[in-house]
Amino acid sequence: MERELKSRIRRPDLYSKIISPQEAAALIKDGMHIGTSGFTPCGYPKAIPLAVADRVRKGEKLKLTLGTGASVGRELDETWATCGIIRRRYPYQTGKNINSLINEGKIDFTDIHLSQVARALRAGILGRMDFAIVEGVAITEEGGIVPSTSVGNAHVFVAEARRVMVEVNISQPPEMEGIHDIYPPSDALLRDPIPIKRGDERIGLPYIPCSPEKIMAIVPSSIPDEARDLG
């Protein structure tokens, strides 16, 4: 896995940031505000959240605020909810356990429209984010994160968070690079029309810009996305 992982990291000075899920999880402290990639359980981090849950199962106490693009998989929402890790959640979730805990008043839920999260975070309404945890398939020469199977709010979280962790998922093909078009529009009142005139145009970047100095951890993962039953 190490050779495959390093082949996905095209900036060698970031090799020193490669650590285990357990080491990355240890960087997360009680009370932190965490934002993750993921949208309709695709492209969400898995290895680090599972390692965080293991800390709590061993007796540690963690209460975190969790923001995402939309719903995420069981490794994150359902596992963290069951372990009592989530203090506040936004903007959307679909898990049975977390839904029950929200309705029982045990998890605070901010029911904000998905399209308003980026603006609210930039305006400080949701508070300052401590860590963005993003799943990607590669890291570019510039330090940019190539998303895996979704983008959601990941690019905004990376820009606004104090620090960033990257899960490089080697179960996803590196050929995914190029399918994303990262274009963050300006906030309302300052916003111009999105400049797409034809279906084949690209207006942004194929990766999420990120200062290399902001990346605190790079974690290998090979856990696939969990497809949702539509039945």
The alpha-carbon radius of gyration of the chain (Å, integer) is: 17
What pLDDT, in 10s, does the model give residues 78-93? Answer: 999 999 999 999 999 9
Which has more pLDDT, 219 or 200?
219
CA–CA distance, 21 with 18 (Å, rounded to integer): 10
CATH architecture of 2-179+201-221: 3-Layer(aba) Sandwich (3.40)
Average pLDDT for residues 132-144, to the nearest whole number? 98
CB 75 within 8 A of CB 49: yes
Q: Please return the burial class of 82, using the count of CB atoms within 10 Å of its CB with bins 0-12, 13-18 and 19+.
A: middle
CB 65 within 8 A of CB 88: yes
How far is Cα 36 from Cα 139, in angstroms, rounded to an integer? Answer: 17
Q: What is the pLDDT of residues 90-110, one digit of tens each?
A: 999 999 999 999 999 999 999
Domain limits of the chain?
Answer: 2-179+201-221
Higher per-residue confidence, 170 vs 199: 170
Q: CB neighbours (10 Å) of residue 120?
A: 18
Q: Is the pTM of this model over 0.75?
A: yes
Q: What is the mean pLDDT of the chain?
A: 95
Q: Is residue 155 packed enough to be buried (19+ CB in 10 Å), middle (13-18) or exposed (0-12)?
A: buried
